[in-house]
Amino acid sequence: MVGLALTAVLTVVVRDSTLETRRDTFEVKADRLTESVNRQIERYVDKLQDIGAFVANAPGTSNERFRSYVTDSELFEQLPSIVGVFFIAQVQAADLPAFLEQIRVANPDFSVALIGDEVRQPDDPYYLLTYYMPGKVDLLLPIGTDVSAIPSVDELIGRSNETGSGILGSFQQDPVLQEIARIDQFAVLDGLLSLDFFIGVPVYDADGAPGGDRLPIGWVGASIDDFDEVARATTEGKPDDVGLSLEVNLSDTGTGSLDEVARIAEQPGESGPRSEAAFEKSGSFEVEGVNWTLTVWSPGDADALSPWVRFTAVAGLLVSALAARLAQLRHLARDDERILAREIRDREQSQRDILESVPSPMVVLDADGRITGANPAWAELVAATDGTSAVHPATTVTTRSTTTYPAVLRPSMLRDGQGLVDAVAAVLAGRADTADVDVALEEGSGGRWYAVRVSRLRGSGGGAVVIHTDITQRKRSHDELRLQASRDPLTGVLNRVAFGEALTAALAQANTGGSAPALLFIDLDGFKPINDTFGHATGDAVLRAVAHRIAGVVRATDQVGRLGGDEFVVLLDPVPDARVAEATAGRVHRALSTPVHVDGLDIPLRASIGVALVDSLRHETADGLLQRGDAAMYVAKHSGGDRYVVG
């Protein structure tokens, strides 16, 4: 019976351990894919924001120059799912004459074209299609069209004005556009209605006075012809043994209620249908206010039992059958001690074979928690941690130790071992059939993580079986993912999301009694000509050098981040008084005043820096502090640049 119980426990333990390892491997793969897709989607927004920065810094430029800039950006080559890019300007009614005077300098034929017979109110803003560059599909969008008469457009732009976020919508169900296309007043709308969806990001005036309630000057949008193509591009290079489903929520512009609808693209690959998957995991992320979800699934046979589990079960049945036969022999031939002794040795040898064949470190405990047996993998684990072995080299199930199992590991634990002690005690006392705990052990000059599972033996003598699964790689992978998710991939400093979290945490800490933090908002002067003259590879090298210089002159307690493009920020914490913030701003300014050496070229640097100090912790928010730093930076830039200003 003991052999049968041990076999059953070993089979279950090995099976569960195998499944857990496979699930953990799958989840790490799914997390990496989700992070990779997140970064790819952010490329779309980054490209559009670069185009928006061009429009903001070159107001009134010609449509030909706009198209030339888009061509040089290689937007359509890098993101083939985009079939057109356009800019819609937001113009207040009172500002329309000045806007037309400015735009007609470079575009003499520019004129406002109204859609349909919609009656405008005197104070209604204009939403003018100012620039358009087609990709592989030309929608023939007429420059100068005022799209404010379309209720769906008005509603989407209204939401963006209120929230400052991007917009994602579809015109396929818009009744106004369908009616206009039907009567052939604007036949080109047939192409617009056939698009899958479009994505747009707000653009703010680089020369305007910034403020918390300022409106964007317009929106840069990209038309997407096929969402399946977006999914293929963002998941390029995915493993063949998993399936993917990419889902995005967008605004339904057909009813005017902005109900959330979705686009879904699936790539099953060689994994088979999702309905038959053994493992599945979904991860969500937000880019410019738009929610995306990636679901990853494994093949249906990913949780199939390995040959080792079946071998363990068969071996256990053989051991149990041998034990039964031994009982029969004892009943029939009590006087044959020699035969009995041989059968006992065979049974013990079989049990030793099972223990020694398990690849993970395993020990058998008696009811008091003492080690009664172990396999070679356990002996190797203990030898690696303290240079000795806690069991006899023979590793038999009859070998006994006077030391309890938790006491053997405690000297090597890198963290408090109370969790392991409690897990073993709960199983031995019968309060739980199994207990799981992660344990970090010191091995040589480093450390390793083990998932320890304690399973109760149901024989009359009690006890437990403990199996150790090495999860060091999984732990390290999770740590690497967390680090990657918080870092800007180009410069290695904190990304926009991670910096915002750090700033929010610093303000919360200050509210509990700590000193108030401060912020530096840094923007390079004349960075765009560097990209235009020397190329984006050189521009990227300059940005990396800038991040390195900033990190080299701030304090160890300060944190450096990149918001995007050539905008950097520094969280100064703690800041005893304003002089510390100004001194740090001065060091950063000096560090960014000398040329950067790239590929034999000396590229000059200048920077405008805004310093934002906390006025009142009770009313201060992370967004508010960033806006005040941005405002101070613009004051420095409008004063000639190459300086810092305290806001």
* pLDDT (tens digit per residue) in 337-355: 666 567 667 766 766 777 6
SS3 at position 240 = coil
Mind listing the pLDDT tens digit for each residue in 124-139? Answer: 899 999 999 998 878 7
Average pLDDT, integer, range 285-310: 74
Q: Which two tokens stand for residue 138?
A: 């030309």
**What is the average pLDDT value for the chain, to the nearest integer?**
80
Omega prior to 97 cis, within 30 of 0: no
Q: Which comes out higher in pLDDT, residue 556 or 10?
A: 556
- Average pLDDT score over residue span 611-639: 91
Q: Token pair for residue 299?
A: 């093949």
Strands (E), 288-433: 290-297, 362-365, 371-374
44: pLDDT confidence band, cut at 50, 70 and 90?
confident
Is residue 388's pLDDT more than 80?
Answer: no
Provide the residue count of the chain.
647
DSSP secondary structure code for residue 218 in this structure: E
Q: What is the pLDDT of residues 189-232, one digit of tens each?
A: 666 666 667 888 999 886 544 445 678 999 999 888 777 777 77
Q: Looking at 43-118, which runs of residues are DSSP E strands?
A: 82-91, 113-114
- Phi, psi for 143 (deg, rounded to 5): -65, 140
- How many Cβ atoms sit within 10 Å of the Cβ of residue 211? 11
Q: Return the structure tokens found at 278.
A: 């053994």
CB of 264 closer than 8 Å to CB of 256: no
- Mean pLDDT for 400-406 is 72
E strands, 371-463, are 371-374, 434-443, 446-456
Is pLDDT at 587 greater than 90 in this prediction?
Answer: yes
Could you tell me the end-to-end alpha-carbon distance of the chain, in angstroms, rounded to an integer? 80
Q: What is the DSSP letter of 94?
A: G
Note the pLDDT of residue 470.
85
Domains of the chain: 43-231 (3.30.450.350), 359-471 (3.30.450.20), 486-646 (3.30.70.270)
- Average pLDDT for residues 259-267, to the nearest whole number? 69
CA distance 193 to 171: 6
- pLDDT, greater one: 304 or 423: 423
Section 503-527 average pLDDT: 91
pLDDT of residue 252: 53
Q: Which tokens sit at 481?
A: 């993912």
Are residues 115 and 186 in contact, defined by beta-carbon separation less than 8 angstroms?
yes
Least confident range from 68-82, 436-450, 601-615: namely 436-450
Residues 6+ apart with CB under 8 A from 95: none
